[in-house]
Chain A
Amino acid sequence: MGDGLVQARDLRKRFGGFEAVRGIDVDVAQGEVFGFLGPNGAGKSSTMRMIACVSPRTSGSLQVLGMDPDREGPRIRARLGVVPQLDNLDTELSVRENLEIYGRYFGLPRRHVRAKAAELLEFARLTERAEDRVEPLSGGMKRRLTIARSLVNDPELLLLDEPTTGLDPQARHLLWERLYQLKREGVTQIITTHYMDEAEQLCDRLVVMDGGVIVAEGSPAELIERWSTREVLELRFLPEERPAAGDLERYAERVELLPDRALLYTADGERSQVALHAAGLRPLSALVRRSTLEDVFLRLTGRTLVD
């Protein structure tokens, strides 16, 4: 893929004796929203830092915007927008100054930066707070300002590390809406997340990472179709009445026993439920739902993503 914005082959990152990224291949195409999905410690953030040219790779090849981060770091970074996992806004400056000064770090002309800041304040719905200091802003506002800041140089590629972690549902939806708007404007985005709903909402394509390697790749729908069933029947039992996995397997294609519930993977949840009832099994509660990426992850790694 010659025209990919990011191209990694056998990319590795080692910190002392610990290998955080253990040989991954990634291709991100122009205009798409690409996701890294995985639990904490999967190697997502290390990968993002390498793509952002602030962490030299240990081995393998990496091209960002057609250039080598090891040699052309500043030139690549001039065309990237970065939203780090933890907000690192300048608390000594006002909201507007955060945008203007950051733009100046890119060497953008003063006049341009001033116009751009006004435009981004609108985008982030922060015009009314423009002259306030950063500290008293709410978490959602700070996050929007961080995203606005990352757009000050009109980046071709936007890197978002856990963009909505720690936000309330309302703030998340507002952020998603802003990111969707950027996508329509043609900004390529790479997102890491450990929220399934976020990945399903935002990503055209994603890879599932675990323990520093990629365990699956595809669109959210493809991944669900490939690694899970259409529906899931969730059952809760009294601890002493809980049947063994073997007893449940005849009612589903696959069974996962979690500490607090049993998951039955099946094409038709209703039908499985009826069959269970007919066999005399009486769960405390039963719930039929559609498969999600959470189920894909559970299938691939044997673990839940968020606990």
Chain B
Amino acid sequence: MTTIDATARPAPGWTRVLPGGSYAGRSRMLLLRSATAARRTWPAIVSGFAEPVFYLLAMGSGLGSLVGELPGPDGRPISYAAFIAPGLLAASAMNGAVFDATFNVFFKLKYNRLYDAMLATPLGPVDIALGEIGWALLRGGLYATGFLSVMAVAGLITSPWALLALPAALLVAFAFAAIGMAATSFMRSWQDFDLVTLAVLPMFLFATTFYPLGVYPRPLQILVECLPLFHAVELMRGLTTGAVHLGMLGHLAYFVVMAAVGVVVAARRLEALLLR
């Protein structure tokens, strides 16, 4: 038999202080696993890129004909398509990440018992959380790159700042994936996924993707300003139109906090669920 010493590699030093050993430093093996599985399902994954493009094509030209031009983030008028494109970019980062981190994770957690299988190896809950969030991030990055290219070809990018929209989209996807995964760890059945729809769809529709904040009365505006997608849309719209200002660091901070909270809660909950 071929033999090799599988024990030779100890867990990274800092993890020894953690009780139970919840991190083996091998979350990239989950990326390998997802990439291997994706070799068979890539058409379904890649074609997810089409959804925001359909929206852009339909709403940009169709609704655009009803609207004409709108004032951009810096007050200068921009076409309706240029107005919604960054909104759709933010929304697709959210949708892709949330879908991966909720439906797919729930399936692996409850039906496949895939994470149970992983825990029979040196992998721990933190490896699993980081690995799955990382995959959602890669996928989100793929969609964002594709959509930004479409925007560029359609002439909807008016500033070199738009290059930063890609890393910004990745941060947004990371934060939504982390929160989504944390939420999934609390779900009991498929029925609870209606709640995911109830969180994601209103954000998509109301968080200034399709029209500016100004259409709402002030109390509603404050409510919308609390939604994470609103901050993502602001960030993207500023970057793709070149209306960049220091206040955007606030939006970034929003997502950094959201991502950190999500990762911690997701890892803790996974530990509680899997290491009973």
- A touches B (Cβ under 8 A): yes
Contacts of B41 in A (CB 8 A): 92
Q: Does B19 contact A (CB under 8 A)?
A: yes
Tell me whether A55 and B122 are in contact (CB under 8 A).
no
A106 to B7, CA, bound (A): 9
Decide yes or no: A79 and B2 within 8 Å by CB, A73-B21, A84-B117, A90-B114 being known contacts.
Answer: no
Interface hit among B26-34, B219-227, B238-246, B251-259: B26-34
The count of residues in chain B whose C-beta lies closer than 8 Å to any C-beta of chain A is 38
Q: Does A2 contact B (CB under 8 A)?
A: no
Q: Does B1 contact A (CB under 8 A)?
A: yes
A253 to B37, CA, bound (A): 62
A185 to B16, CA, bound (A): 33
8 Å CB interface, A53-69 against B:
54-56
Q: Does A297 contact B (CB under 8 A)?
A: no
A97 to B1, CA, bound (A): 20
Which secondary structure dominates chain B's binding surface? loop
Contact with B along A81-100 (1 / 0, CB 8 A): 01010101111110001000
Tell me whether B19 and A90 are in contact (CB under 8 A).
no
Which residue of A has the minimal Cβ distance to B124? A74
Say which residue of B11, B15, B19, B122 sits within 8 Å of A106 (CB atoms).
B122
Q: Does A154 contact B (CB under 8 A)?
A: yes
Tell me whether A101 and B120 are in contact (CB under 8 A).
no
Tell me whether B36 and A74 are in contact (CB under 8 A).
no
Tell me whether A101 and B32 are in contact (CB under 8 A).
yes
Contacts of B202 in A (CB 8 A): none
Contacts of A150 in B (CB 8 A): 120
Tell me whether A84 and B120 are in contact (CB under 8 A).
yes
Tell me whether B113 and A86 are in contact (CB under 8 A).
yes
Q: Does B233 contact A (CB under 8 A)?
A: no
Tell me whether A90 and B32 are in contact (CB under 8 A).
no
Q: Which B positions have Cβ atoms within 8 angstroms of A?
A: 1-4, 6-7, 9-11, 15-16, 19-21, 24, 26, 29, 32-33, 36-37, 40-41, 112-114, 116-124, 274-276
